[in-house]
Amino acid sequence: MGVIKTKSWWERNPKKTIIIVLVPILIVIVFASEKYFEFRNHKNLINGVYHTRYIRLKESPPLMSNYIWPEKKDSDALQFKKYLFRVDNNGFIVPSAKYQNPDKIIVFLGGSTTECAYVEEENRFPYKVGCLLEKKLGKKINSYNGGTAGNNSMHSLFISISKGLPMNPSVVVMMHNINDLIILLYEG
């Protein structure tokens, strides 16, 4: 007489077997993927705080603080030395927010002529305009410098909509003459 082999639980329940085997494997894969992407995106971690933008903006990195210097002397007026270049947590060039509750907010957007990278912080014109208007009007004014070398009107519109308008500015100033002209010349 032959031996009758009884089917194991695994063989009698193939659907349950698949679920019991695959679900833990999928959980491990998802967990491992999360850890991998967390590690891969560590570059967004600046000073212990994640800074991710859901709209890609052409701006200086938030919380950046570096000394920069011109690569060559392009102008007689440009001093070949180190310039402190700092950016606040919202991507605006420092100095910007002098007051917690200002009377007026001015946002400057543009290219390198607005950025004023090779100018001392307190002499950058967006900051100077705020200081001069403050003296003239007798009001507390915060002026924000959102300039980035190479920006054109499209970049500034994105910046204005995504981080400028939520600040409820009194005035937004955009300066893009040469960068817009270059785009028009190249693209027709």
Q: Give the Cα separation of 106 and 161 in Å (integer).
A: 14
Range(s) of the domain holding residue 10: 1-52
| Cα 42 to Cα 28, 37, 48, 49, 59, distances in angstroms | 21, 8, 10, 10, 19
Instruction: Based on the fold, state whether residues 178 and 90 are members of the same structural domain.
Output: yes
The predicted-structure confidence for 125-142, as pLDDT tens digits, reads as follows 999 999 999 999 999 999
Instruction: Based on the fold, state whether residues 81 and 139 are members of the same structural domain.
Output: yes
Instruction: Based on the fold, state whether residues 47 and 75 are members of the same structural domain.
Output: no
Instruction: Based on the fold, state whether residues 24 and 73 are members of the same structural domain.
Output: no
The answer, yes or no, to whether residue 169 has pLDDT greater than 90, is yes
Instruction: Based on the fold, state whether residues 93 and 46 are members of the same structural domain.
Output: no
Predicted confidence band at 36 (pLDDT cuts at 50, 70, 90)? confident
Instruction: Based on the fold, state whether residues 42 and 131 are members of the same structural domain.
Output: no
Predicted confidence band at 12 (pLDDT cuts at 50, 70, 90)? confident
Instruction: Based on the fold, state whether residues 62 and 142 are members of the same structural domain.
Output: yes
Instruction: Based on the fold, state whether residues 62 and 45 are members of the same structural domain.
Output: no
Instruction: Based on the fold, state whether residues 46 and 115 are members of the same structural domain.
Output: no
Instruction: Based on the fold, state whether residues 175 and 84 are members of the same structural domain.
Output: yes
Instruction: Based on the fold, state whether residues 79 and 159 are members of the same structural domain.
Output: yes
Instruction: Based on the fold, state whether residues 47 and 69 are members of the same structural domain.
Output: no
Number of domains comprising the chain: 2
Give percent of the chain above pLDDT 90: 55
Predicted confidence band at 46 (pLDDT cuts at 50, 70, 90)? low
Which of 130-165 are b and which e, b meaning 16 or more Cβ less than 10 Å from the residue's Cβ?
beebbeeeeeebbbbbbbbeebbbebbebbbebbbe
Give backbone dihedrals phi and psi of 39, rounded to 5 degrees, phi first: -65, -45
**What number of other Cβ atoms are within 10 A of residue 97's Cβ?**
16
The answer, yes or no, to whether residue 47 has pLDDT greater than 60, is no
Pairing of strands 83-86, 65-68: antiparallel
Asked if 62 and 162 count as a contact pair (C-beta separation under 8 A), the reply is no
Helices (H) and strands (E) in the chain, counts: 6, 7
Q: Model-level pTM greater than 0.75? A: no
